[in-house]
Structure 1
Amino acid sequence: MAVKGKTAKKTSKSSTSKKKTKVTKKKAAKTSSKKASKKKSSAKSSAQSSVTAKLKKTKKASTLKVKSTPSSELAASVDPYSLVRLSTKRQVNSVEEKKARLRARRIHWNKEKEKIAIDMLERYTGHDIKDFQQQIILTNFHYYIERFNVLLDDAIYTKGSAFKASSSKKAQVTIIEFGVGSAMAALIGELVSVVNPKAVLFLGLAGSVHPSLKVGDFVLPIASIRAEGVSDHFLPPQVPALPTFKVQKFVSQILVEHGHDYRTGTIHSTDFRFWEFDDRFKQNLIEERVLAVEMETAALFTACFVSKVNIGALLLISDCPMKKGGIKTKSSAKEVFKKYTDIHIELGIEAMADIAERGEKVRHYNW
Structure 2
Amino acid sequence: MKKIMSISPDSFTKEDVQLLCERMNQLFDEGFYPHLEINREYSKHNPRLRGEMAHPKVFRWYLIRELYRLLSKGASIQLHQKRTRIALNDPTLLSHMDEEEWDFTKKKLFLFSPERVDLSINRLLHYTGTKPEHFQRYILFTNYDMHVEVFKERFPDAIKPDNEGVQMPAYHWIQPNNTGISLINIGVGPSNAKTITDHISVLRPDAMIMVGHCGGLRNHQRIGDFVLASGYYRDDRVLDDVFPMGNPVIPNYLLNSYLKQALDQHGIEHRIGTVFTTANRNWEFSAKDTVQRIHQSRSVAIDMESATVATNGFRYRVPHATLLSVSDKPLHGKPKLSQQAQEFYNRSKKLHLELVLETIEVVKLHHPEGLPNSSIRAINEPLMGGV
TM-score scaled to structure 2, two decimals? 0.66
In the other structure, the counterpart of 1:130 is 133
For residues 346-357 of structure 1, what are the structure 2 equivalents within 5 Å?
346-357=354-365
Displacement after TM superposition at 1:312 (Å): 0.7
In the other structure, the counterpart of 1:314 is 323
In structure 2, do the counterparts of structure 1 residues 138 and 78 end up closer, same or farther at CA, with 3 Å as the change threshold? closer
Give distance in 2, aligned partners of 1:301 and 1:224: 8
Of 289, 293, 304, the residue aligned with 2:302 is 293
**Does structure 2 retain, via aligned residues, the 8 Å contact 1:201–1:352?**
no
Displacement after TM superposition at 1:338 (Å): 0.9
Q: SS of the residue aligned with 1:278?
A: helix
Give distance in 2, aligned partners of 1:159 and 1:266: 38
Q: SS of the residue aligned with 1:100?
A: coil
Displacement after TM superposition at 1:154 (Å): 2.4
In structure 2, do the counterparts of structure 1 residues 300 and 127 end up closer, same or farther at CA, with 3 Å as the change threshold? same
- % of aligned pairs identical? 28
**Does structure 2 retain, via aligned residues, the 8 Å contact 1:76–1:110?**
no
Is the aligned partner of 1:221 residue 2:200? no
Of 267, 278, 281, the residue aligned with 1:270 is 278
Is the aligned partner of 1:144 residue 2:147? yes
For residues 139-288 of structure 1, what are the structure 2 equivalents within 5 Å?
139-158=142-161, 161-170=166-175, 172-280=180-288, 281-288=290-297
1:154-195 deviations in Å (ceiling 9; x for gaps):
212215531111111247111111111111111212211122
Give distance in 2, aligned partners of 1:159 and 1:102: 38
Counterpart of 2:260 in structure 1: which amino acid?
A: S
Give distance in 1, aligned partners of 2:141 and 2:332: 29
Counterpart of 2:317 in structure 1: which amino acid?
A: K
Counterpart of 1:349 in structure 2: which amino acid?
A: L
In structure 2, do the counterparts of structure 1 residues 102 and 180 end up closer, same or farther at CA, with 3 Å as the change threshold? farther
Counterpart of 1:305 in structure 2: which amino acid?
A: F
Q: SS of the residue aligned with 2:330?
A: coil
Bigger fraction of residues in strand? 2
Q: Which runs of 5+ in 2 are unaligned?
A: 1-49, 52-93, 379-387
Q: Which runs of 5+ in 1 are unaligned?
A: 1-70, 84-96
Give distance in 2, aligned partners of 1:229 and 1:175: 25
TM-score scaled to structure 1, two decimals? 0.70
Give distance in 2, aligned partners of 1:357 and 1:154: 23
In structure 2, do the counterparts of structure 1 residues 284 and 364 end up closer, same or farther at CA, with 3 Å as the change threshold? closer
Q: SS of the residue aligned with 2:341?
A: helix
Counterpart of 2:255 in structure 1: which amino acid?
A: V
Give distance in 1, aligned partners of 2:199 and 2:96: 20
Displacement after TM superposition at 1:360 (Å): 5.6
**Does structure 1 retain, via aligned residues, the 8 Å contact 2:104–2:111?**
no
Give distance in 1, aligned partners of 2:110 and 2:266: 38
1:136-164 deviations in Å (ceiling 9; x for gaps):
11101111111101012321221553111
Counterpart of 2:346 in structure 1: which amino acid?
A: K
In the other structure, the counterpart of 1:109 is 112
Aligned Cα root-mean-square deviation (Å) = 2.7
In structure 2, do the counterparts of structure 1 residues 259 and 159 end up closer, same or farther at CA, with 3 Å as the change threshold? farther
Larger C-alpha radius of gyration, 1 or 2?
1
Displacement after TM superposition at 1:308 (Å): 1.3
**Does structure 1 retain, via aligned residues, the 8 Å contact 2:96–2:115?**
no
**Does structure 1 retain, via aligned residues, the 8 Å contact 2:209–2:322?**
yes
Give distance in 2, aligned partners of 1:316 and 1:209: 12
Displacement after TM superposition at 1:273 (Å): 1.3
**Does structure 2 retain, via aligned residues, the 8 Å contact 1:182–1:296?**
yes
Counterpart of 2:161 in structure 1: which amino acid?
A: T
Q: Which runs of 4+ in 1 moved over 4 A?
A: 75-78
Is the aligned partner of 1:327 residue 2:346? no
Displacement after TM superposition at 1:107 (Å): 8.4
In the other structure, the counterpart of 1:42 is none
In structure 2, do the counterparts of structure 1 residues 287 and 166 end up closer, same or farther at CA, with 3 Å as the change threshold? same
